[in-house]
Amino acid sequence: MNAHGMVVKIKRKTCIVLTADGEYREVLLPGGAVPRLGQEIQLENRRKLPYPKQLMAVASLFIILMAGLLYFGEAPPAAAYLTIDINPSIELAVSTAGKVISARALDDEGEKILSEVKVKGQDLREAVRLIVAQAVADNYIEKSGDNVILATLTVASGAEPLVDLNSVYEAIKSPVESSGLESDVIIEPVELELRQEAVASGISTGRYLLLNKSDKKGLQISISDITSMSLGKLEKEKKMNLVDLVAGEDYDRRDNDNKQGQESVTKNRGIYFERQKSAGDQGEPVGKAKISEEKQTRSNAGLKDANGKGSTGNGEGKHEGAGNSGRDKDRSAGNSDKGGSSDKGGNSDKGGNSDKGGNSDKPDNKKHDR
C-alpha cells in the first residue's frame, strides 16, 4: 500500500513532504501539475537497491561472459611462423590447419604490401604467392636480376612441422618467373630461440639469421647494413653469396647426395636456389637448385658423358687435369685431333701432346652445370 504525505516545500525537481509518521521525506515531483503547498500527495514505495554482494555477483558474471566472448573471438595460437625477406619484410603466423592467422609487417615496405593484399585466413601457399606477386608489382623485385628472397620457418614449441617447404618454394618462384624475373630463393628452417632473439632485436628472423651467420664467419656486416637495404643489394655491395652463407657446410653435401637423400634434405633442412649469374656478379657464374631432381639428373648425365670420353681421373666428376682423353692418345700416336694426319709428318703441333702436357685442350665445361 502506497503512503501519503503533505507537501511542505517545493524545489526544482523534488519536494519535501511530511508523512503520517511525522517523517520528512524528499521525493521527486509527481508527473503532471506541480503540487501546491499543503497538498497531500501519494508517495511511491522505496525500491530496495541490490545488496553489495548481489552487485559483485552480477559484475563477476558480466566479466566471465566478456572473457568468454574475447576468447572465442581471438585467433588460435600460432603453430608456426614464416618470415619473408626481400625488402619488404613480413612475418606470417600459421595455424595447425595451415591457415594464416595474422600478418605482421617488419618494415615500411612490408606495411605497404599488407595494405595492398589480404592474407589473413588464406592458405599459407596462397598468402606467400600474393605477397611475392605484390612485391613484383611494386618493383621490389627488379629486372636487373640482383634479387634474393629469403624465407625462414619457425615451428612453435611442441608443434609438429606442418609447412611443406616445396609448396612455399613454388609459391615464391611462380610469380617471379611468370613476370620474366630472376631471383635467388633461400628457405631455411630455424629454431624458436633464434626467432625470439630476432623479435627482441626488432628485426625479422631472416635478417637476424644473416647477421648471426655473418658474425660466425667473421664478415664485417652491421645491423644497419642488414636492415637498410634489400637482400640483393646487400649481397652485391658486400660481395658475398647469401646462398652459400645460409647453407654453410651442408651446401656441397646436398650437391652430392643421391636422389633419396636430397628428398630427405628438402623436407628436413632447407631449399636453396641460386639464379644464373653473369661473370661480373659475385659468386660462381652458375645457376643451381641445390634440392632439385633436375640438378641431380644433369649431374649424373655429366659424369656419364665424362666417362664416355675416356677420362682416367679419380671419378670425382671433375676432369680438368685428371688424365689423357681419347683424342690426346690419338695425337700421341701421330694422329691429328680429328683422327687424321697432321700437316707435319702426321704428328701434332707439339710432339703429339696437347697444350697442357697430355691433357685435352678442351677441359670439361660441365663442371658448373648444376
pLDDT in tens, the chain (370 residues): 567 888 888 888 888 888 877 788 888 887 777 888 888 888 876 544 444 555 566 666 667 766 655 545 555 678 899 999 998 999 999 998 889 999 999 999 999 999 999 999 999 999 999 999 999 999 999 887 789 999 999 988 666 657 889 999 999 999 999 999 999 999 999 999 999 999 988 899 999 999 888 888 888 888 888 888 888 888 888 888 888 888 875 544 334 343 343 333 343 468 888 776 554 444 433 334 444 343 333 334 443 443 444 433 343 333 333 344 333 334 333 443 444 433 444 444 444 443 444 444 444 433 333 3
| Residue 64 confidence (pLDDT) | 73
The residues spanned by each domain of the chain are 3-43, 80-291
Q: What is the pLDDT of residue 366?
A: 36
60 is written with which cell numbers? 563477476
- Provide CB contacts within 8 A for 100, sequence distance 6+: 92, 93, 94, 119, 120, 121, 122, 123, 124, 127
State in Å, rounded, how far the first CA of the chain is from the last one. Answer: 100
Is the overall model pTM greater than 0.95, yes or no? no
Whole-number pLDDT of residue 224 = 83
Q: Minimal CA–CA distance to 78: which of 114, 103, 113?
A: 103
Residues 76 and 94: their CA atoms lie apart, in Å, by 9
Angle at alpha carbon of residue 153, lines to 151 and 159, rounded to 5° = 165
For 115-152, give one letter per residue: b (16+ CB within 10 A) or e.
eebebeebbbbebbbbbbbbbbeeebbeeebbbbbbbb
